Structure 1
Amino acid sequence: MSLLRRFCILILLLSSSPSWAISVLFINPGKQSETFWLSVSQAMAAAAQNLGMEFRVVYADRDHLRMPSLLQKTLAEGPKPDYLIVVNERQMAPPLLAIAEQAQIPTLLALNDLTPEQMKQFGPPRSHFKYWIGSLYPDNQQAGYLTGKALLTRLVQTKKPAANGFYQLVAIAGDKSTPASQARVQGLQKALQEFPKVQLKQIVYGNWGRGLAAEQMNVLSDRYPQAAAVWCASDLMAFGVISSLEQRKGPHKEVLVSAINYSNDAVMMVKNGRLSTLSAGHFMVGAWSMVLLYDYAHGRDFIGQGTQIQLPSFGLVSPSNAHLFLDRFSPHGVKKIHFASYSKTLNPKVKQYDFSLESLLQ
């Protein structure tokens, strides 16, 4: 075969291919109007652009039961992605993984792994679901512990105990079934063991919503008037709590409030003192998932580091380091991150992935 003929065949193959870029579809369980879930998508898009990947996101708008039909509809409409990223929101990963299995799309679980009960039923990645290639998720218990310990430390240092001699605390968790919510509560409970003089009066579930958390705080304030601190599993729920407290008269305005999740509003509230404690950084897990998939597609399987990778993604935001978070994690700041430098394919010297918060802030 002549060189000219070979060249013509190569040109024909290239022209008939829709794209040589790796394509990834993300089923986002949240709303585009929610800062956290929008930040997740924006960071993933920034990583995709830096790595030369194609990225598409569809939002389930907090309707977890809709996610399987949304995925089926998206796949039916095409084009079929090379890879899929889903979240075990409200424990809905198994039907999503089953759809991916049938479509033969390698899939990564991000932000929430399977629960222990689900793991008993379906096993680890690459077993029951052979196209479930792995999980990448933050240490949410770390987030609950960090905010819990910082909040309780400040509580006992700056507030007076209640009439019974104990300090009183209330908590607003996310939901009862999502692994991230469960782990954050476990982190709070771990912190409480270090503070025997603090009583957790009640845990309620705000379903990650600002409005519901505000309503719940109205009730909790009346029920526990001596509660001097509120632990919240997300920033949106903390915003609702603060709104409720600021509308009340008396000492309620002085109640300490903690939160988890990055948002510019939350960081600014730390700076001005409206939020007592904030841990943030884990929204970057979606972007790190893109790096894993890029390397996997180029023959650099992450199995050597495990198929279920938990990341130390959280750090405490303080008035002194708030500017670092704002600079690095703003929509503009995320676009400046050189994600390619974290890739084993593009940097053979990288032996172990370092997706820690410290590496980003440095």
Structure 2
Amino acid sequence: MVKGFWSCLLLCCCLAGSAIANAASVVFLNPGRSDEPFWVSYAQFMQAAAADLDMDLQILFAERDKERMLQQAREVLLGPTRPDYLMFVNEQYAGPEILRLSRGSGVKLFSVNSTLTPDQQALVGGTREQYPDWIGSMVPNDEEAGYLMARSLLAQQQHLNAGRPFELVAFSGDKQTPAAKRREKGLHRALAAYPQARLRQLVYAEWNRQRAHAQAQQLFVRYPKVEVVWSANDEMAFGAMAAATALGRKPGQDLHFSALNNSPEVLRAYLDGQVSALVSGHFTLGGWALVLLHDYDAGLDFAKHGGKDREVRLFMALDKKKAVRLLTHVELRGYKINFKSYSLLHAPKQRDYKFSLQPLLD
């Protein structure tokens, strides 16, 4: 009886150990800072997905340092213990160098958020071409995000001004990041539909609150009639808001801001009326990408179900009700999402993947 018990226990331990050993291992090169609200929430959503999908996930923060990110890639891809998959962002156009390091490593690569630009792909090829282990990419609809923020702001200001012309300034991210350029493109698309709006200046604040604050101090003095501020993320919006407040302006009243992201701080600022237009959604992308890798690792190739390279409509313009629901999920951190239900492996009747922000708004 005792012998049987111990045999059974040993078998269970072996099975558990086998399951852990067979878990797909993933390393994500997180380009952000380890105290940066967006990239921290991005990592948390990935961790929730990995736990639900039984995947072994390691996240390395590059602290906004390109050389550090490349060194991390070098250690992961050339080191003695390599993961099954490496997820990376084409931050500061580092993608081609990461691919070069991967050659012969046996590691599968997947790009998220910012993939290689068309010019870069003209030189090094696309996914599954010159680098066959670069198996896919997934990016959010960044141009639409920039457009949604701008359209909402411009429509509000046009209504307030009863058709009178008005001025705006814009804060973009990093010149060396494709996502920033795409959000700018969305801004300009919206401006084309609102001829009353005059863009006085666009500056690059590198996604940073302090840099945006310093730039805004000069811009609001240089352009005292500005009524609208477009910002490509929440950190830059807060920096500009602080500068405006110090100059006696009133965010949400005589100066209207857009913002993008999902931090509790920005969600509350939107609910309080300090932020006039808020877009969110792409912090979920890494978690959804893990669903694709989970299925691929089990032999179900996502390329046959929607393509190897995909742009996902994750960005959504929030209203007050959606902002309250998203804030609740973000503060819970566990998210309470059954990620397996979004997997074609576990839901074979689905023909394609259905990723969106909606699960966090229900």
TM-score (norm 1): 0.91
CA displacement at 1:341 relative to structure 2:
0.3
Q: Distance in 1 between matches of 2:17 and 2:49?
A: 26
Contact 1:26 1:86 in 2 (8 A): yes
1:39-54 to 2 correspondences below 5 Å: 39-54=41-56
Q: Distance in 2 between matches of 1:359 and 1:75?
A: 35
290-299 or 247-256: which moved more? 247-256
CA displacement at 1:71 relative to structure 2:
1.7
Contact 2:281 2:356 in 1 (8 A): no
Distance 1:264 1:78, change over 3 A: farther
Could you say which residue in structure 2 is the equivalent of 1:4? none
Could you say which residue in structure 1 is the equivalent of 2:321? 320
CA displacement at 1:358 relative to structure 2:
3.1
Q: Distance in 1 between matches of 2:338 and 2:138?
A: 20
Contact 1:160 1:167 in 2 (8 A): no
Q: Does 1:282 align with 2:282?
A: yes
Distance 1:220 1:302, change over 3 A: same
DSSP 3-state at the match of 1:102: coil
Q: Does 1:229 align with 2:228?
A: yes
1:150-189 to 2 correspondences below 5 Å: 150-159=152-161, 166-189=165-188
Q: Distance in 1 between matches of 2:248 and 2:101?
A: 53
Unaligned runs of 5+ in 1: 1-7
CA displacement at 1:102 relative to structure 2:
3.0
CA displacement, residues 172-205 of structure 1 (integer Å, 9 cap, x when unaligned)? 0001121100000000000011101111111000
Could you say which residue in structure 2 is the equivalent of 1:139? 141
Could you say which residue in structure 1 is the equivalent of 2:6? none
DSSP 3-state at the match of 2:139: strand
Distance 1:95 1:142, change over 3 A: same
Q: Distance in 2 between matches of 1:132 and 1:211?
A: 36
CA displacement at 1:32 relative to structure 2:
1.2
Could you say which residue in structure 2 is the equivalent of 1:241? 240
Distance 1:49 1:227, change over 3 A: same
CA displacement at 1:66 relative to structure 2:
2.2
Give the AA of the match of 1:311: V
Contact 1:101 1:130 in 2 (8 A): no
1:262-273 to 2 correspondences below 5 Å: 262-273=262-273
State, as a whole percentage, how many aligned pairs show the same letter: 36
Q: Does 1:196 align with 2:199?
A: no
Give the AA of the match of 1:326: L
CA displacement, residues 101-140 of structure 1 (integer Å, 9 cap, x when unaligned)? 3312111101111112112112220001111000011000
Distance 1:159 1:78, change over 3 A: farther
Q: Distance in 2 between matches of 1:134 and 1:196?
A: 40
Contact 1:26 1:56 in 2 (8 A): yes
Contact 2:47 2:57 in 1 (8 A): yes
CA displacement at 1:96 relative to structure 2:
1.1
Distance 1:269 1:18, change over 3 A: closer
Contact 2:28 2:88 in 1 (8 A): yes
Contact 2:322 2:361 in 1 (8 A): no
Q: Distance in 1 between matches of 2:255 and 2:242?
A: 12
Distance 1:344 1:61, change over 3 A: same
DSSP 3-state at the match of 1:313: coil
Q: Distance in 2 between matches of 1:56 and 1:343?
A: 21
CA displacement at 1:73 relative to structure 2:
2.4
Could you say which residue in structure 1 is the equivalent of 2:297? 297
Contact 1:172 1:233 in 2 (8 A): yes
Contact 1:317 1:325 in 2 (8 A): no
274-283 or 244-253: which moved more? 244-253
Could you say which residue in structure 2 is the equivalent of 1:208? 207
Could you say which residue in structure 1 is the equivalent of 2:3? none
Q: Distance in 1 between matches of 2:199 and 2:349?
A: 48
Distance 1:168 1:222, change over 3 A: same
Could you say which residue in structure 1 is the equivalent of 2:219? 220
Q: Distance in 1 between matches of 2:320 and 2:289?
A: 30
CA displacement at 1:76 relative to structure 2:
5.2
DSSP 3-state at the match of 1:146: helix
DSSP 3-state at the match of 2:21: coil
Could you say which residue in structure 1 is the equivalent of 2:308? 307
CA displacement at 1:14 relative to structure 2:
8.9
Contact 2:48 2:334 in 1 (8 A): no
Distance 1:89 1:166, change over 3 A: same
CA displacement, residues 226-265 of structure 1 (integer Å, 9 cap, x when unaligned)? 1101000000001101111111125677211101111111
TM-score (norm 2): 0.91
Output the aligned Cα RMSD: 2.3
Q: Distance in 1 between matches of 2:249 and 2:183?
A: 30
Q: Distance in 2 between matches of 1:166 and 1:142?
A: 24
CA displacement, residues 292-351 of structure 1 (integer Å, 9 cap, x when unaligned)? 0000000110112111100000111222321121133445252x1110100111111121
